Chain A
Amino acid sequence: MTEPSADAVRALFGGAADLVERRVLAGGQTVTVFFLDGLTSGSQIADFVLRPLSRSLVPGTMEELFRQAAGGAVCCASMKRAASAEAVADGLVHGSCAVLFPGLRHALLFETKTGEKRSPAPPESENTVKGAKDAFTETMRTNTSLVRRHLRTPRLRLEAFQVGEAAPASVTLVYLDGRADPERLRRMRGRLGTLRPESLLSPAAVEELVTGSRKTAFPMLEYTERTDKFCQNLLLGRLGLIVDGLPEGFLAPVCLGRLMDSPEDRAVDYVSASCLRVLRYLALLISLLLPAVYTAMALFHQHMLPTKLLLAIIGSKKDVPFPTLLEMLALLAAFELLQEAGLHLPQAIGTAVSIIGGLVVGSAAVEAKLVSPAALIVAASAGVCGFALPNRDLSDAIRIWRFGLTLLGGLFGLPGVTFGFLALLVHLSGLESLGEAYLAPFSAGTAGGAVFRARYQKREDRT
């Protein structure tokens, strides 16, 4: 720890262009003011720090000036003392203005954050027709205020952690006192307290570090950009994490039943919601199994297909030069490539790429007899069903397993698909998120409320 001197602060920032240094005459002595341009509000610094410093302080020793400033002569809403140059630097990067009193072992940090931040906008990836339209932003305090507005109760707890060594990030653990399981809370606090990463700049970093080095493609921490979903889950006793700089809230523990839950379910009546959920589970199975079952049937079990369907498939495959397995794997890979290309391009170009890639190239490939229409329909149906899943991480994991199951179906037929599916079930049964089984509520034997949404009158939580 270095003493909070102007030289030490300058050395820590290494001549950063946005570090502004100002010497001010205060009470007959010269003090140094530091702030980071862009992170702080110039007018606030002028009105609430510089003006009181130069006009309100009564002349005296440096010690007396420090006492006056800390005691309220500088009328800023939030003030902290910093005992080292590192603490001063930390305050500066968090939007404070630092006042250094030469010769003293303490500096003062006044919060003068700029008001420039993104306003809450409607969610982009979790859109619903009904329900709240405010999504998380990149600013921690905006996000915590959004949560407070949805859950106006003093039992809402926010615990702050600093995580990251090279670039520390503020992480807030959010939970409802009395609802959250104390054991889970203890485990989560323990994990956040022992994390020593370089930074937490990406959602994947948060997920991997908080949940441990997971060896699965399935999400172990659920993310949401919807504040209403985040708060509903807090009411259910789950723990929330908000990371400064990330426009998402993270929820733990995670289980399959919850990952298949969509915010739309709570926005519509329970009959419609139940029908939608059945469709969603159907989509999950189709997305995972359809290419594998098609490949297995086309290669090994043609007799299991209805005659007319088989004749149609044989007719469509007649002039295709590639074997069914290769054709299906190539189509799945092409679908993934299209999706990836669409993601990395601006929205307008992405749409064009999807149309050209999906429709034009697809129909041209069928006309050129490079792929059969049946295989194309199967790959496209599986892909579209993947989009029906409410959680993108779950959808990604399903996409990976889909490839494996298709390969097994092509090599060993339906026994291979069955083996792969059982391996997936074994894998999922072995996963645990903060002590909760990943296959819950199905693992409990009674999967009530998992597929069909219960009526609010009958729900215990009624959220």
Chain B
Amino acid sequence: MKHFGFWLSALGCVLVCFLWPARGTDVSELQPAQLLLIERRDGRVTVACDSGARGVGNDLDAALGDMARTAQGRLYLETVDWVLFTPGAEDLISAAAESGKLRPAAGVCLVTQTPEKLPDALAYLNAHPGTDTLARERAAALGGPAAGTPILSVRGERMELLLGVDG
């Protein structure tokens, strides 16, 4: 009985360790995405990221959910630096800004056509940062100043940023 309190506390600690609701995800299991391409095809929303994961859904949230489910490993969207919208998907900018699944600081860009290689587009955009972000788009939707969304012109492997470029 002398050490009853100690053993009870030890048992409590073990139980807390096993029943603790939060389960961490090791950083090595994460599949970080840095660039997200959002398209509209046949009335459905298609998303793809530079790590190779793809998803389809009736709306943006469903497509993102599908991509998270089908990705190899745990898709991590908190690292997305760029969100690209193809022609016909511009109306999804506000949905992306309000989804809460993407970083507000992520840059927004329209593309004239789907880039052949997303990592190349990421490298180009990282070298030529634009000014528009999801946070600015959201502010514009709430009545703030309109954000000048840059346009990335894609012709084969050649890319050029046309509007809203820094400097």
Interface residue ranges, A against B (CB under 8 Å): 298-300, 302-303, 307, 310-311, 313-314, 317-318, 320, 323-324, 410-413
Contact = CB atoms under 8 A, between A and B. Distances in A.
A299 B24 contact: yes
Contact of B24 (A300, A303, A313, A320): A300
B20 interface: yes
Interface residues of B, number: 16
B34 A317 contact: no
Contact of B27 (A307, A313, A411): A313
Interface of A is mostly: helix
Contacts of B17: 411
A320 B28 contact: yes
B22 interface: yes
A310 B27 CA distance: 8
Contacts of A413: 22, 24
Given A302-B78, A307-B79, A314 B20 contact: no
A299 B32 contact: no
A412 B20 contact: yes
A302 B103 CA distance: 13
B135 to A, nearest CB: 15
A411 B13 CA distance: 11
A317 B32 CA distance: 12
Interface of B: 17, 20, 22, 24-28, 30, 32, 34, 76, 78-79, 81, 103
A299 B30 contact: no
22 contacts: A298-B26, A299-B25, A299-B27, A302-B30, A303-B78, A307-B78, A310-B78, A311-B32, A311-B34, A314-B27, A314-B28, A314-B32, A317-B26, A318-B28, A320-B28, A410-B24, A411-B17, A411-B20, A412-B20, A412-B22, A413-B22, A413-B24
Contacts of A299: 24-27
B66 to A, nearest CB: 22
A361 B166 CA distance: 47
Contacts of B24: 299-300, 410, 413
Q: Which of B24, B25, B81 counts the most A-chain CB atoms under 10 A from its CB?
A: B24
B79 A310 contact: yes
A298 B30 CA distance: 10
Contacts of A320: 28
A324 B20 contact: no
A47 to B, nearest CB: 65
Nearest to B13: A411
Contacts of B27: 298-299, 302, 310, 313-314, 317, 324
A318 B34 CA distance: 16
A325 B28 CA distance: 12
